[in-house]
Amino acid sequence: MTPAHTPHTRSYRPARMYARLAGGAPAPAHGRSEGRPANGERRGGRGPRGRAQARRPRSMTNPPLQHRDTVANPDIAVIPPVTDPDVVRVIPLGGVEEVGKNMLAVETADDILIFDAGFQFVSEENDAPGINYILPNTQYLEQNRDKIRGLVITHGHLDHIGGIPFLMERLGNPPIYTRYLTSLMILKRQEEFPHLPKVNMHLVEPGQRIKLGTTYIKPFPVTHSIPDSMGISVETKYGNIVISGDLKLDHEDGVPSKTEQEVWGTIGKDNNILFIADSTNAEKTGFSIPEMRVHTNIEEIIRSVKGRLIIGTFASQFARMTHIIAICEKLGKKVVTEGRSIKTNIEIAQKAGILTVQKDTIIPVQEIDNYPADRIVVISTGAQGEEFAALMRIATKQHKFIALGERDTIMLSSSVIPGNELSVQKLKDNLYRRGAQIIHYRSSDVHSTGHGNSGELVWMNHQVHPRFFMPAYGYHSMIRCHAYAVEEAGFPKENIIIADNGLVVDIKNGTELNIHKEKAPTEIMMVDGFTVGMRQEVVIRDRQSLAQDGMFVIIATLNIKTGKLRKSPDIISRGFVYLRESQALLSEARTLIKRTVEKSTENMQPINLDFVKDQLTDTVTGFLLQRTNKTPMVIPVLIGI
């Protein structure tokens, strides 16, 4: 272990400039118009945003990430620095207004510790066409970069590790502290960004006491849908801050296992001043389905199915995949893995020592027809209905080696991520059209969540018995339900902190709570191609306009002395109207363009082309709206001769 770390400051590369369309002239009115180089392949367009199919990796020839520097921002509220050794500060920077982009900062007078650095996939609610990922805002951390002592990662899901390649340079490349499997997943992902500096990785295990700067942390094991998940106790002068990470309880009929009781009983012996806990499933009462029940049901299905069995699941379900492979080996069945993320994670599981596979258990998909159907089990990505994932290609008869028949059974061993309902329904419809039978989590217990229900969360809260409590990791409704549950169980309402992203919470002497009126910056940060920075409203607005109503480009040549057009203007339309079927509209538009140009240049010397462009943009936009009820992006290009 390296106990302390003095980060160095990096100079950021200048942000990429967006090319102007009109020959370098100022943009027309309404923020028109900026463009950017084409992105790489997107994750199935604006479709489902499940875990199974992330962006394709960047190639070795991709340019380095560019950062729009955000440190020197005069609009940021001045937050008083932590100088009192009796004060500890907590700031959730992401993950308390959404599921995703998790990041939490704990600050003392000497140190800042960062917990998790995830991203969030772009969804319809974000309405940001062309954007790859959304990141937590790190401006507060960048301003205090000299105090950062380390980045602690609780587990290997993308909503906790996905932001690492994009944020590490901004944070001064601090050392990363995490468990072995998580480290392998981080390092595997870093291979997609070969231009970045190597991460400084430190492996930790539960039971250790690790020093970061002047602050000690103690990891403890938690149950989640991925191995090597951990929570963290942060030791402060007046007590511990306990951070749960994502978790559930290993239990049997609502009775926590002996291991859970020992882990949480040990945590409860400490003086805990604050508990920050997962709220993702707080809206559900009671206890979640234990994973062992799922394993039992899947084993019975594998034993009894008569034809081929194709199992769609999340690639991050390591325990489930290893159990499926072990059962297949016991029953003499062959396993085919379909989907890059599943193949990658099985390799990582083998390297981490949590999976040992016999030599001939996993076979190439090309050999699938060499064995009887009832000896084949396929583990596949695509249970969320992703357009280009393996399961959807099988369902739509686009898979080169797997053709479904009536004897095939499909098991969807995953829940439906909110927003993917229509995509999953289309997947099921296509599977049924092929004659296959479907088993899913609503018809049988073949999937269990990785997040505890409210009964589990209340039990954990009782064990920790903190002075203050902050529900986290979820939408506001989930956080409220978590707060209500622990309050009904007897926790003092006045000691519950309902946080938004950027809330600055100071605890003095372990007993005095001070919530600042100033907040840390929370404006959305985005990954846009090879650029990382704040949401560029003009660019996003232009993309929204293009996506909805297309573009209408006017190219006109005029006499720079008289203001008269030298010929009829050319019109280029994309995504607006089909030109061959809109000749009358275009004829009227050309007449309007000619009249507008000549009227706006009347008695003007010298002729101001920027003024003429603005007039054209407003006039033509109004005309097209009146005639078509659409507002395409109008881009006038004027050539003065």
Mean pLDDT on 100-112: 97
Mean pLDDT on 465-489: 97
Mean pLDDT on 152-162: 96
- For the record, the structure tokens of 199 come out as 């991460």
Mean pLDDT on 435-445: 88
The residues, ordered by sequence, that sit 6+ positions from 42 with a Cβ below 8 Å of its Cβ are 55, 132
The residues, ordered by sequence, that sit 6+ positions from 446 with a Cβ below 8 Å of its Cβ are 294, 297, 298, 301, 411, 412, 413, 439, 440
When comparing pLDDT for 542 and 26, which is higher?
Answer: 542
Residue 253 predicted with pLDDT over 70? yes
Mean pLDDT on 519-526: 89
> How much is the pLDDT for 548?
77
Mean pLDDT on 487-498: 97
Residue 525 predicted with pLDDT over 90? no
For residue 310, which of 292, 294, 328, 293 has the smallest C-alpha distance?
A: 328
The 3-state secondary structure of 103-138 reads EEEEECCCCEEEECCCCEECCCCCCCCCCCEEECCC
> How much is the pLDDT for 126?
53
Angle at which helices 180-190 and 340-352 cross, to 10°: 140
In this structure, are residues 339 and 381 in contact, taking their beta carbons and an 8 Å threshold?
A: yes
pLDDT in tens, 270-329: 999 999 999 999 999 999 999 999 999 999 999 999 999 999 999 989 989 999 999 999
Residue 45 predicted with pLDDT over 90? no
Distance of CA 70 to the CA centre of its chain: 21
**To the nearest whole number, what is the mean pLDDT of the chain?**
86
Q: How confident is the model at residue 441 (pLDDT cuts 50, 70, 90)?
A: confident
In this structure, are residues 417 and 451 in contact, taking their beta carbons and an 8 Å threshold?
A: no
- For the record, the structure tokens of 217 come out as 């942390």
Residue 7 predicted with pLDDT over 50? no
The residues, ordered by sequence, that sit 6+ positions from 256 with a Cβ below 8 Å of its Cβ are 249, 250, 264, 459
Residue 57 predicted with pLDDT over 60? no
Which domains, from first to last, does the chain contain? 84-285+451-534 (3.60.15.10), 291-440 (3.40.50.10710), 550-640 (3.10.20.580)
410 phi/psi in degrees, rounded to 5: -110, 125
Q: Which residues are catalytic?
A: 278, 451
- For the record, the structure tokens of 455 come out as 């009964």
Q: How confident is the model at residue 535 (pLDDT cuts 50, 70, 90)?
A: low
CA distance 378 to 400: 14
pLDDT in tens, 202-230: 999 999 999 999 999 999 999 999 999 99
For residue 292, which of 251, 259, 324 has the smallest C-alpha distance?
A: 251
> Which string of DSSP letters, residue by residue, matches 519-565?
----PPEEEETTEEEE--HHHHHHHHHHHHH-EEEEEEEE-TTT--B
For residue 406, which of 369, 436, 439 has the smallest C-alpha distance?
A: 436
Q: How many CA atoms lie within 13 A of 312 on its CB side?
A: 32
Kind of pairing between the strands at 87-94 and 103-107 = antiparallel
> How much is the pLDDT for 536?
60
**How wide is the angle at C-alpha 517 spanned by C-alphas 513 and 520, nearest 5°?**
100
Give the lowest-confidence range in 15-19, 68-72, 231-235, 546-550. Answer: 15-19
What length does the chain have? 641
Q: How many helices (H) and strands (E) does the chain have?
A: 15, 29
Mean pLDDT on 188-199: 93
CA distance 516 to 80: 9
Q: How confident is the model at residue 420 (pLDDT cuts 50, 70, 90)?
A: confident
Residue 201 predicted with pLDDT over 70? yes
Residue 150 predicted with pLDDT over 90? yes
CA distance 187 to 181: 10
Q: What Rg, from alpha-carbon coordinates, does the chain have?
A: 28
> How much is the pLDDT for 17?
27
- For the record, the structure tokens of 515 come out as 């919530």
Q: 142: part of which helix (H) or strand (E)? A: helix 139-143
Q: 189: part of which helix (H) or strand (E)? A: helix 180-190
Mean pLDDT on 52-71: 47
Mean pLDDT on 173-180: 98
Residue 562 predicted with pLDDT over 90? no
> How much is the pLDDT for 524?
82
91 phi/psi in degrees, rounded to 5: -135, 110
In this structure, are residues 243 and 113 in contact, taking their beta carbons and an 8 Å threshold?
A: no
Residue 101 predicted with pLDDT over 70? yes
Mean pLDDT on 54-80: 54
pLDDT in tens, 330-374: 999 999 999 999 999 999 999 999 999 998 999 999 999 999 999
> How much is the pLDDT for 15?
31
The residues, ordered by sequence, that sit 6+ positions from 91 with a Cβ below 8 Å of its Cβ are 104, 105, 107, 140, 502, 503, 504, 505, 520
Q: How confident is the model at residue 65 (pLDDT cuts 50, 70, 90)?
A: low
CA distance 433 to 404: 10
- Positive or negative, the CA dihedral 441, 447, 448, 449 is negative
> How much is the pLDDT for 521?
94
- For the record, the structure tokens of 503 come out as 């809330």
Q: What percentage of the chain carries pLDDT values higher than 70?
A: 84
> How much is the pLDDT for 129?
63
> How much is the pLDDT for 66?
59
> Which string of DSSP letters, residue by residue, matches 238-298?
TEEEEE--S-B--EETTEE-HHHHHHHHHHHTS-EEEEEEE-TBTTS-S-PPPHHHHHHHH
Residue with tokens 């981080």: 186
> How much is the pLDDT for 439?
93
Residue with tokens 């400051």: 9
CA distance 483 to 241: 18
CA distance 279 to 457: 8
Q: 390: part of which helix (H) or strand (E)? A: helix 390-395
